[in-house]
């Protein structure tokens, strides 16, 4: 749960590109923005927590981009 809480704290920090045919392609978290958001929220980021956040990020990117990479 700590990783989910941390991820939800920074879930607005995704890097995205507008696609010519409409919509967006999500690349992943902007790590500088994520770091700032976590620091401002008082979340102490350990290597294990960061690893868990990155796993959530990978799943989110896959879902957000589903059907766009064909």
Q: How confident is the model at residue 22 (pLDDT cuts 50, 70, 90)?
A: confident
Q: How far apart are the first and last CA of the chain?
A: 33
Coil vs helix vs strand at 15:
strand
| Both structure tokens of 1 | 């749960």
Mean pLDDT, rounded, for 7-12: 97
Inform me whether the pLDDT recorded for 70 exceeds 70.
no
What sign results for the dihedral spanned by CA atoms 61, 64, 69, 70?
A: positive
Q: What is the pLDDT of residue 69?
A: 60
Cα separation, 35 vs 40, in Å, equals 9
Over residues 3-22, the mean pLDDT reads: 95
Rounded to whole angstroms, the Cα distance separating 57 from 10 reads 10
Q: What is the pLDDT of residue 67?
A: 77
Tell me the average pLDDT across 21-49: 96
């Amino acid at each position: 749960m700590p990783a989910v809480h941390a991820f939800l704290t920074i879930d607005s920090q995704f890097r995205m590109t507008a696609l010519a045919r409409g919509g967006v392609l999500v690349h992943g978290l902007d790590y500088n923005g994520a770091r700032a958001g976590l620091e401002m929220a008082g979340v102490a980021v350990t290597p294990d927590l960061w690893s868990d956040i990155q796993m959530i990020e990978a799943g989110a990117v896959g879902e957000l981009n589903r059907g766009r990479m064909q």
